């Protein structure tokens, strides 16, 4: 189990158990949030992607999903070559500043991968490390115009 990954999604408001579809399929991630673990409407987070062509996609996804998983579920072109192992920068996104400041600090591992990202900015984060909470309702994440795939060039993991 990747302790670093668990630390990066820890949020202190309440307890939820969520199944991570990235990486190790047997990994159950426990983290804290103020809502129950079911996925009825009150546990959905609606947020936006600005795609590479400038178009906007508005999606709703359960609390506990990450921005990369949700992108794959909605056919949004966010790569995620290492499948959330924090070993690439292909899930790089720009987070609207208001929401960027609500996110837990990036881990050293995330920062190391961000240093490899194409067109790094102050509000850059790895999409697979942004776990949805109700506080992120209304957030907009913008896909960079390109990504740097140093894992397996051009590889895109299949939809889970
Ligand atoms: Fe590789 Fe997010 S998918 S770091």
**According to the model, what pLDDT value does residue 50 have?**
98
In this structure, the residues whose C-beta lies within 6 A of any atom of ligand 1 are 68, 80-88, 90-91, 113, 126, 128
For a substitution probing ligand 1, which of 5, 79, 88 has the most ligand atoms within 8 Å of its CB? 88
What lies within 8 Å, CB to CB, of 133 at 6+ separation is: 11, 13, 33, 45, 63
Structure token digits, residue 16: 């939820």
Summarised one tens digit per residue, pLDDT across range 40-99 is 677 999 999 999 999 999 999 999 999 999 999 999 999 999 999 999 999 999 999 999
Question: Measured over all CA atoms, what is the biggest interatomic distance in the chain, rounded to whole angstroms?
Answer: 40
Task: Count the Cβ atoms, other than its own, within 10 Å of residue 114.
Answer: 17
Dihedral over alpha carbons 9, 11, 138, 91 (to 10 degrees): -10
**According to the model, what pLDDT value does residue 160 have?**
53
**According to the model, what pLDDT value does residue 150 have?**
55
For residue 130, report the distance from its CA to the centre of ligand 1, in Å.
11
Distance of alpha carbon 79 from alpha carbon 156, whole angstroms:
6
- For residue 86, the ligand 1 atom closest to its alpha carbon is 4
For a substitution probing ligand 1, which of 23, 82, 120, 151 has the most ligand atoms within 8 Å of its CB? 82
- Please provide residue 15's backbone torsions phi and psi, each rounded to the nearest 5 degrees: -105, 130
Distance of alpha carbon 82 from alpha carbon 96, whole angstroms:
24
Summarised one tens digit per residue, pLDDT across range 71-87 is 999 999 999 999 999 99
| 121-139 average pLDDT score | 98
**According to the model, what pLDDT value does residue 40 have?**
65
Q: How far is CA 11 from CA 112, 132, 137, in A?
A: 22, 10, 15
Residue 157 — very low, low, confident or very high, per pLDDT cuts 50/70/90? low
Is the per-residue pLDDT at 121 higher than 80? yes
């Amino acid at each position: 189990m990747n302790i670093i990954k668990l630390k990066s999604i820890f949020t202190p408001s309440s307890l939820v158990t969520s199944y991570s579809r990235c990486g190790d399929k047997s990994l159950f991630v426990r983290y804290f949030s103020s809502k129950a673990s079911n996925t009825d409407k009150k546990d959905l987070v609606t947020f936006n992607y600005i795609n590479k062509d400038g178009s906007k996609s508005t999606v709703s996804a359960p609390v506990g999903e990450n921005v990369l998983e949700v992108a794959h579920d909605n056919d949004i072109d966010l790569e995620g070559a290492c499948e959330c192992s924090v070993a690439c920068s292909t899930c790089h996104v720009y987070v609207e500043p208001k929401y960027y400041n609500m996110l837990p600090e990036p881990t050293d591992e995330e920062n190391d991968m961000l240093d490899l990202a194409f067109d790094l900015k102050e509000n850059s984060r790895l999409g697979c490390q942004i776990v949805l909470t109700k506080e992120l309702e209304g957030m907009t994440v913008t896909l960079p115009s390109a990504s740097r795939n140093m894992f397996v060039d051009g590889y895109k993991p299949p939809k889970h």
